[in-house]
Every structure is written in structure tokens, then in C-alpha cells.
Chain A
């Protein structure tokens, strides 16, 4: 399969190491032979395996550790945009895999939403993406969701269409579900611009109480400020932010009474592709480990999740 001006985005759901390596290396070799650029984002161990398999052809491929690229997984979209800009029109093939088994389930779902959005973000980039998913470590539910985010699948070395594939807007909307803050969560009202500074002080105090370090706190305060500003500008008062702990994550839950984002891809698209209103969420996604957006009859809910120090 060759890319025209579109984007070829396939998932490789593999059971064994050999299956992973043979599909990945033949995908990369095809590109190297055609004079394309290759890029691999994978765990350091897998990078070593792939290099070994490629032999001399590995010289024509760039490798980056998934631990770095996906440290904040929301930054991956931007990293790829940056790589494409440097490639200056050369065709690019990307192998992208992070260790999803190490992520919490909200993070896994956010990653899958980002995967789906990639079909839009890179829709006219001429990019080929192969996303390995390790069936041995992931649940069938995650794998089935993954099939919904990828238009194509690689099975036994052959490309097939994914019957479960859903258009990104529909796919993302299907994964949006409101999670309500626990009754015990502390909260702070924020209805207008003058409430933002007190809301930031509240956030700083709460983050300190949950032992978040200074830098992570400053980042989180920015993300909350952006989402609250967006709610003030485009949503409806009253607005409120709750802070609570959920397992190993700190959650900031922002609610406003407005109808929310018209486009379910808001915040997954870079600002220059986003019609409006998504910049705050885009920024939040570069800062937080996970961002969730959902609506109910009361308005819009945005949940920002960051790992607490114990989980880092």
C-alpha cells in the first residue's frame, strides 16, 4: 500500500516478538528502499531489537525512546508535527508504540482518542504510521477500541481494513463519559475573570497538600487556568473546579454550565487546525497525563489528571 496525499494509519496487534519484528522491519525496509524517512518510537529494548533486525538499513531510520516521547503522551502529536516540518516534504514512515500496559485506564483511553484524532491531524500529510499493540499485555477491550481508531490493520504480514473503524468524531464522542467528583472532593467556584487568581491560589494549596512538586504544580495551575478561562469566555457561569485524588492520580475537575465543545476533536487538533476554543485543551494535553472532556444535562466537564509523585 502506498500513501497518496492521505495518511495510512494501521495497527499491528501482535502476540509474539517475532511477529512484531518481522512486520515492523518489513514496513521500515519498504520505506528505506523507496527513499523515505523512517522514525521509530518504541521502548529502548524494542529499539535495540529493531536496529538489530534492520542491520545496515537502521542508518536510514531515526529512533527515539517512547519513555521520552510519551512522557506526557499528549505531546506526541506535536512531536510528530515537528518531525514532519523538519522532513521538509520527504515522505515519512513512523512506528509508534508506547508501553500502554503501564498506563492507567483513563490514560489508555486518552491515548486511543489521540490515535483516532491522528487520522484528521495527519490526514493530508502523506505519512504512514504503524502502531504495534502488544496483545499479551492488553485487554481485549483495549484492543477492540484500538481497532476502532485505526482504518487499517496488519495481520500475518498482510494489510486489511479494520471493520471496527469509526470516523474520529464519532469514535471520540463514543469514549466521552462523565465521571463525577466524589462528594468528599474540595471545590472552588469560578464564574468570572476576577475569580481566576483566587482559583489558582486554591489549586496551589490543594496540589501542595497532595505533595505534588513545585514544577508539576505550576504546570497544573496553568492547565486549570486555561480550561477555566475557556469556560469563562465560552461557557456559562456558574463554573467550579474540584480537586481530588483518584488512585495514583491527582484530578482537577472543571465544570461549567455551557454546552461545551462543538467538535469532539477540540484539543486533539493543533491550534492552527482548530477552528476555535480548543487551545486551552491543547495546552492542557501537553501538560497533563490525561485530559477527559464530556457533557451531561448540567453542562461541560473537563478532567485533568496528573500523576502524583509516588507514581512518577
Chain B
């Protein structure tokens, strides 16, 4: 079992859920982990699925509307990506995935993750075809650095099939790992990032990657710290380091900074004309 948080880019893991509750936990944990890295996540729903994955995520407290709007969360149907069920055009997929990664980077996200609902696939193709597709998809995702989770319904799979499918993946996902300490939510208007949770040594590198990738797009960034519960000097130092890489007219605006954030900046002696505290 592998925790979903801290997966290396390109990891291709599989989830074998036994009921709807487990299905929900895997899906939401995976999306949360993507948000904890500031990554884009493409949720590939089954064709004609009964329950919308958006409802699942909403139930778990993910603000799907805002993240759909910012392009951090994208919802797609399997057939839109891979062709009609029954005769999916499964190969070649590497080029398409590569383009998706490039687009994601250009849109201001450090990485791309995909969650794919696949419970229906063993019903429409042979096990041999399925294994071949998993291998090709896994290799292509590793090549282009997409982190993904393939979700299968264990109740529909004979034990030896489930074992084969699991074997085609790096690991089986553990939906019950620790919740990420912070999530980095992309915002478009204004261009920036909303940070929820706590920032410390464990996630300051992820924070820095988000800042840098979003600054590739334009050199003014508004960071909404209204839902930041804790930040230490090291994490703020990272932000000031990123600001120091900006051209002179560049700006990182800290919006909704609490008296706490102001205090930590003050006691750390951090200052840069490119970092602005919005009143």
C-alpha cells in the first residue's frame, strides 16, 4: 500500500475499492493530494457513470466549482480521451499525454495528475487487452511525469485478475493516509494561489514550485493567505527567495495576511520591495 501524499511524479498506482465509501475516499484523497502539490488533476469519469465525481468531491469538502473555474480540476469522459467504449482507441497515447502535461505547465501548474475510473473496462475488453493497455499507459505516464490512479471495483474482479491488475501498477493506493497539511489552489482572477492549511518544512518546496510555475505565466502573483492556519519563517523565507528571482517590476502580493503572518515576517527580518502586504 502506498500513501497518495508524496507520490513521485509519474507514479502509476491502482485503487481496488470494495464499496462506494472506499471509492469516494480514494477519489477525494487523490484530488486532495494533487491540490497539496498545486498540480492540475484530470478526473476521467466512467462512461455513463451513475454518481458524478463532482458530488463525491463536494461531499468531502473540495470546492469543485472554484477549482473547475481555475482549470486546476478538469472533468473528462473516458471516451473523449480514448474513444468509444467497446472499441477504445487505446494506442498510441503517449503523445496526447505529453501535450496535456505541456498545456498544464503553460496554464500554471507544476504537475499533472489523472484519476481514472476503470471499473467498467474489464467488462468490455479482454484481460489481455486490459493488461496491455495498463502497461502502455503506465509507461507513457512515467515518461511524461503524470501521476495517476486507476480505480477498479474489486467486487467485480476474480482474485487472480485483481492481482494481475495490481501487479501492473507501482503500488496499491492507501486512501487512509494522513491528510495533506496544506492545499495550493490555483486562482485566475486575480492570477495567483490560495493557500489553505499549514506551511512548514514538510511542504515549503511544494509551495515554492507552485509559486515559480505560476510566475512563469506572469510576474505578478496574488497569494490569498486568508485560510492559512500556520506558517513558519522558513516557509516565508522560501517565498522571499522566489520573489528575489523576479525582475524589478515583479510582485508577489500577500492578500488577507493575518497579524500572525505579519509577525513572522517581522521577527524573521524578511523584506523585499517585490513582496507586498495588501492592507
Contacts and interface: CB of A to CB of B under 8 A. Distances in A.
B232 A226 contact: yes
Nearest to A72: B267
Q: Which of A193, A221, A270, A287 has the most CB of B within 10 A?
A: A193
Given A271-B268, A279-B268, A287-B267, A197 B233 contact: no
B99 interface: no
A225 interface: yes
Contact of B198 (A197, A232, A270, A287): A197
A193 B200 contact: yes
A98 B181 CA distance: 42
B233 A283 contact: yes
A283 B201 contact: no
Please tell me the size bucket of the interface on A. 20 to 34
Contact of A229 (B200, B264, B267): B200
A287 B267 CA distance: 8
Nearest to A219: B263
A236 B267 CA distance: 26
Contacts of B201: 193, 196, 229, 232-233
B71 to A, nearest CB: 29
A69 B198 CA distance: 32
A199 B78 CA distance: 43
A287 B198 CA distance: 20
Contacts of A221: 230
Interface of B: 178, 181, 198, 200-202, 230, 232-234, 237, 260, 264, 267-269
A198 to B, nearest CB: 9
A218 B260 contact: yes
Contacts of B181: 197
Contacts of B232: 222, 225-226, 229
B268 A283 contact: yes
Contacts of B200: 193, 196-197, 225, 229
Nearest to A194: B202
B229 to A, nearest CB: 10
Nearest to A75: B267
Contacts of A193: 200-202
A196 B201 CA distance: 8
A226 B232 CA distance: 7
A270 B178 CA distance: 37
B269 A229 contact: no
A166 interface: no
B202 A279 contact: no
13 contacts: A194-B178, A196-B200, A196-B202, A197-B181, A200-B198, A221-B230, A225-B200, A226-B232, A226-B234, A229-B200, A283-B233, A283-B268, A287-B267
Given A193-B200, A194-B202, A196-B202, A229 B260 contact: no
A225 B200 CA distance: 8
Contacts of A232: 201
B207 to A, nearest CB: 13
A78 B202 CA distance: 29
A225 B267 CA distance: 14
Contacts of A196: 200-202
A197 B203 CA distance: 11
Q: Which 8 A-B pairs have the closest CB atoms?
A: A193-B202, A193-B201, A229-B201, A286-B267, A225-B232, A196-B200, A283-B267, A194-B202
A180 to B, nearest CB: 27
